[in-house]
Structure formats: C-alpha cells, structure tokens
Amino acid sequence: MTVSKQTIFSVVVLVLVVGAIVYLESRKADIPSLLGNQDVTILNEGERVAEKEKKFEPAKEISTPDGFINTDGVTISELIGKKIILVDFWTYSCINCQRTTPYLNSWYEKYADDGLVILGLHTPEFEFEKDYDNVARAVEKFGIEYPVVLDNDYSTWRSYENRYWPRKYLIDIDGFIVYDHIGEGAYEETEQKIVELLNERSAVLGEDAVTLDEKNPEYIQDVEFDKVQSPEMYFGYDRLQYIGNTFLRSCLDSVCDFDAKTDIQRNTFNLDGSWQIGPEDTVLKNGEGAIILGFSASKVNLVAGTDGGEIEAEIYLDGERVDAAYKGADVDENGVVRFGAHDLYNLIDLHGDYGEHVLWIMIKQPGLQAFAFTFG
C-alpha cells in the first residue's frame, strides 16, 4: 500500500496540533485562580460605562458623616476610577455583624494592596452606638483597620435604601453597585466577586492580575442556623414581643415591680424586681433583680451596659451556677459577669450543643440597662 507524501504531512500536522492541545490543557492547573476562572473582557471606557448603565445603579455618596475612624476623611467619589469599594453597613453590638467582621478583616488584609477599599458604615441600632468613643473602642477590639464612617443620622443608610445589619455592597472601578448581599454568609461568593472586580480594575489600569487567596480568616464563629430556635428579643417597648410578665401599660416609662413566673416558657424572658421599661431598653431601678430566659440555642448574648461603673451578675443555667464548660466568654470562672460599657456580652456557650435551657441572670445592684438577647 502506497502512502503519498501529502498524506504523511497531513498526519504529522494533525499529531502536532493534538499534542499542542493536550499540552495546553495540562497547563491549565498551573494558571492562577482568578474569579470563577472567567476571562475579563474590557471594552473601552465609553462602551463599558454605557453597558453598565443599563444594568446597575450608580454608587451613592457618603452623606453627612458624623465622624471617621482609621482615616481623616473619605468620599466614595474620590475612590471611583481608582479602587474597588466594599461598603459594609454594620453596628458594633450586632452579633451578625460581629460574626462577619473576621471575613472583612481578612479580605482587607489580602486585597488592599491590589486595590480593595472597605468602608465600614456604622449606622447605630441603639442610642449608645452613636457615641464616637464606643465605636472607636469596638473598632480596636475587633481589629478593624479599614476606614469606618459614623452614619448616626442614617442618611447614607437611607441613600442605599438599606434595612439590614450587616449588608454589603460592592462598587466597581466605574462606580456602579454590581453586588449586594444581605446578612451573614455567602463569604466565598463575595470574595470571588471581589477578585473578579479587582481583575477588571487591573485590566483597566494596566496592572497585574489578582489571584484568589483561599486562606480562611481566624476566629470565625460557626453557627448552625437551622438549630437556633430562639429569635432576637428586645427589651424596649418599641419592639417588646417576648416578655413573659403581665403588666399594665402604665408601667411603660415608669418604675414597676415585676414577679417572675415559675413556669418559664421557651422564647420568653421574665423580669423580677423593680424595673422601668423604656423605648429601647429596660433598666433595673432599685435593689437586686433578675432576668429569666427560656431559650433554644447554643450561645446566648445580652446587649447591655451601665451609665457608670460595673454591675455584677451571677449566671445560672438550668438551676445551677454555670460552670466553666458552658460559661460565655464574658463570664468568669465563678459564673459572674461584670456589666460596664454598653456592648454585647456573651453569657452562655454550649459549644455546638443546641437545645432548650433556662438562663437566670441574678443582678446584684440597680442600674443595669438591658437592650436585647441574641443567639448563636
């Protein structure tokens, strides 16, 4: 059988092509991981902006800031065209925000040099969170190094039509809001979007591509949300739903004596002692007192504080002084918590054991201001 030279040449070319394809495919694993392994296609500026105007809202400017931390001042407009901006609405006593903060810190550490700016818009849930020193103390406590802006009058919050803590918006190189996430979670998705936007920025500015850094943050709090059966419970009458005591309307904004029920129901709290229920908190006004809570969760936190000095309280779980195995981070080895600065205090930590329990907070002197229970 005779084979022509042309046929031999064609076969050789085919073999070379197939070999090249195999080689290139084998090299894919060595290519740095960009967001979603997607190519970044960059149009000219006019076309790019015109396309985005059809899909996205433009970023909103910071409005009437009440103070800055970690910066002398910042505007969103000065960053557009230079940086990728993550706007995070938070408030420091919010447990959901506290569980999100390690991820924000990690992203800032990993990607700030690549063009990421995080702006923490601190919009207060409670009146005490308007205080600059309180916020500055929380920023230091949580190791936050990115700029924080106080939004005490909710003006920036309203500009973004926000209603949640926390909430994250991503603003791209051209100043458009291209990503929006409410609440906790979706951390992997959010980080991938950050890297995608950083690579668009790099292409526009002619800088090196950015790789996805898969290092996880430290000190994260894992929560199995489907096992947390207790909702947030507020003490102020503006949002008072879960109190177990029966009381007269005349007790609002007035001092009344409360007697705790002996039968504590799940997802209710009972007051014992002389208390005054105000718009956003309930205050122990005279003598000793107690708060008794029926809950179903693994962790219990109380947002509380005093107007001066420390107030001690003993913590009991299911009728016994809480032991070292189940005490929260803010409770000492003797089962005592010392309330002082307005903050979130972790009282119980069952370390992933979710179930129904009864918590007693035995308060030794008047002056404690209780704002909310939160759970994990």
Are 268 and 162 in the same domain? no
Let me know if residue 2 belongs to a domain: no
Are 119 and 148 in the same domain? yes
Last residue of a domain, one of 171, 205, 239: 205
Are 245 and 358 in the same domain? yes
Let me know if residue 177 belongs to a domain: yes
Say how far apart CA 272 and CA 252 lie, in whole Å: 16
Let me know if residue 8 belongs to a domain: no
Let me know if residue 12 belongs to a domain: no
Let me know if residue 41 belongs to a domain: yes
Let me know if residue 20 belongs to a domain: no
Let me know if residue 217 belongs to a domain: no
Band of pLDDT at residue 45, cut at 50, 70 and 90: confident
Which CATH number fits the domain that encloses residue 116? 3.40.30.10
How many domains would you assign to the chain?
2
Which CATH number fits the domain that encloses residue 300? 2.60.120.260
The residue ranges of DSSP E strands in 221-310, in sequence order, are 233-234, 255-258, 268-277, 282-297, 299-305
The stretch 242-254 carries a mean pLDDT of 95
Task: List the structure tokens of 151.
Answer: 């939004």
Are 194 and 272 in the same domain? no
Are 362 and 278 in the same domain? yes
Are 321 and 182 in the same domain? no
Range of the domain at 238: 225-375
- What residues contact 244, with CB distance under 8 A and at least 6 apart? 260, 261, 264, 265, 268, 269, 270
pTM for the full predicted model? 0.87
Query: What pLDDT shows up at residue 213?
Result: 97
Are 131 and 250 in the same domain? no
pLDDT digits (tens, 9 = 90+) for 101-135: 999 999 999 999 999 999 999 999 999 999 999 99
Q: What is the mean pLDDT of the chain?
A: 91
Residue with more model confidence, 138 or 18: 138
Say how far apart CA 76 and CA 168 lie, in whole Å: 15
pLDDT digits (tens, 9 = 90+) for 201-245: 999 999 999 999 999 998 899 999 999 999 999 999 999 999 999
Band of pLDDT at residue 44, cut at 50, 70 and 90: confident
Query: What pLDDT shows up at residue 39?
Result: 53
The stretch 11-23 carries a mean pLDDT of 40
